[in-house]
Structure 1
Amino acid sequence: MKMKFLKNIGYILLIFTGIGVQLQAQTDVKLSNFIYAPLVYNPAYAGSSNGYSANAFYTSQWVGFDGAPETLIITGHDKIEFFNLGVGFDIMSDNIGATKENRVVGNVAYHIRLDKNWSLSTGIKFGVNNYAIDYSLFSIEDQVEFNANGNLSKLSPIFGTGFFLHTENFFAGVSVPNFLITNFIEDFSQTISSTTPNYFITTGYKIELKSEVYIQPTVMVRITKGAPYSALVSFNLNWKDKFYASANYEHNVTAGAFVGLRITDQIMAGYAYDTSINSFAQYNGGIHSFMISYRAKERFRRDSCGCFTY
Structure 2
Amino acid sequence: MKMRKPLLLLIALAAVAVQAVAQQRPQYSQYMVNNYILNPAITGIEDYADIRVSNRRQWMGLDGAPVTYYVSGHMPLNKGAASNKYHKALAHHGVGVLLHTDQTGPLRRTGLTGSYAYHLPITNKINVSAGASAGLIRNSLNANELEFTNPNDPLVGGGNINRNMLDLNLGLWVYSKNFSVGFAGAQLLEDAGGFRAPEEERAALGLQRHYFATGSYRWNATSTLDVIPSVMVKMAGPSPVSIDGNVRVMYDQRFWVGAGYRQRDALVAMVGVYVSPLLDVSYSYDATTSNINRVSAGTHEIVVGFKLLNDRRIICPQWVW
Is the pair's TM-score, using the shorter chain for normalization, greater than 0.5?
yes
| 2:181 paired with 1:172 | yes
Residue 84 of structure 2: aligned partner: none
2:166 to 139, 157, 164: 157
Q: Which amino acid aligns with 1:159?
A: L
1:250 to 231, 255, 262: 262
Runs of 4+ in 1 over 3 A off after TM superposition: 139-147, 183-190, 299-305
Deviation larger for 45-54 or 114-123 = 45-54
Summarize deviations over 1:48-70 as a string: whole Å, max 9, x none: 12221111110001111111000
2:16 aligned counterpart, secondary structure: coil
Q: CA deviation at 1:30?
A: 2.7
2:277 to 265, 275, 280: 265
Q: Which amino acid aligns with 1:112?
A: L
2:246 aligned counterpart, secondary structure: strand
Residue 22 of structure 1: aligned partner: 18
Q: Which amino acid aligns with 1:113?
A: P
Q: Which amino acid aligns with 1:176?
A: G
Alpha carbons 1:92, 1:103 under 8 Å: kept: yes
Q: CA deviation at 1:284?
A: 0.8
Residue 94 of structure 1: aligned partner: 102
Q: Which amino acid aligns with 2:173?
A: F
Q: CA deviation at 1:27?
A: 1.9
1:257 aligned counterpart, secondary structure: strand
Q: CA deviation at 1:291?
A: 1.3
Summarize deviations over 1:151-197 as a string: whole Å, max 9, x none: 11111111111100001111000001221112795575672142111
Q: CA deviation at 1:265?
A: 2.8
Residue 3 of structure 1: aligned partner: none
Q: CA deviation at 1:32?
A: 1.4
- Match runs of 1:155-234 below 5 Å: 155-182=164-191, 186=198, 191-234=203-246
The 3 A distance-change label for structure 1 pair 104 and 49 is same
Deviation larger for 278-287 or 163-172 = 278-287
State how far apart, in whole Å, the 2-side matches of 1:130 and 1:193 are. Answer: 9
State how far apart, in whole Å, the 1-side matches of 2:9 and 2:118 are. Answer: 44
Alpha carbons 2:276, 2:315 under 8 Å: kept: no
Q: CA deviation at 1:256?
A: 0.9
Q: Which amino acid aligns with 1:221?
A: V
State how far apart, in whole Å, the 2-side matches of 1:142 and 1:170 are. Answer: 54
Deviation larger for 181-190 or 267-276 = 181-190
Q: Which has the higher strand share?
A: 1
Q: CA deviation at 1:217?
A: 0.4
2:144 aligned counterpart, secondary structure: helix
Q: Which amino acid aligns with 1:157?
A: L
Residue 251 of structure 2: aligned partner: 239
Deviation larger for 50-59 or 181-190 = 181-190
Residue 9 of structure 2: aligned partner: 11
The 3 A distance-change label for structure 1 pair 272 and 117 is same
Q: Which amino acid aligns with 1:168?
A: K
Residue 140 of structure 2: aligned partner: 132
| 2:44 paired with 1:47 | yes
> Kindly, what percent of the aligned residue pairs are identical?
20
State how far apart, in whole Å, the 2-side matches of 1:80 and 1:8 are. Answer: 51
State how far apart, in whole Å, the 2-side matches of 1:261 and 1:301 are. Answer: 14
Summarize deviations over 1:37-94 as a string: whole Å, max 9, x none: 2111100011112221111110001111111000001111111125710111111010
Alpha carbons 2:282, 2:302 under 8 Å: kept: yes
1:78 aligned counterpart, secondary structure: strand
| 2:29 paired with 1:32 | yes
Q: Which amino acid aligns with 1:81?
A: N
State how far apart, in whole Å, the 2-side matches of 1:244 and 1:208 are. Answer: 14
Alpha carbons 2:29, 2:301 under 8 Å: kept: no
Deviation larger for 116-125 or 178-187 = 178-187
2:294 aligned counterpart, secondary structure: helix
1:154 aligned counterpart, secondary structure: strand
> What is the TM-score when the length of structure 2 is the normalising length?
0.86
The 3 A distance-change label for structure 1 pair 9 and 189 is closer
Alpha carbons 2:161, 2:201 under 8 Å: kept: no
The 3 A distance-change label for structure 1 pair 137 and 249 is same
Alpha carbons 1:158, 1:178 under 8 Å: kept: yes
2:5 aligned counterpart, secondary structure: helix
State how far apart, in whole Å, the 2-side matches of 1:248 and 1:189 are. Answer: 37
Alpha carbons 2:39, 2:184 under 8 Å: kept: yes
Q: Which amino acid aligns with 2:19?
A: L
Q: CA deviation at 1:133?
A: 0.7
Q: CA deviation at 1:298?
A: 2.0
1:148 to 151, 156, 168: 156
Alpha carbons 1:48, 1:304 under 8 Å: kept: no
2:54 to 54, 57, 82: 57
Equivalenced residue count is: 302
Alpha carbons 1:70, 1:94 under 8 Å: kept: yes
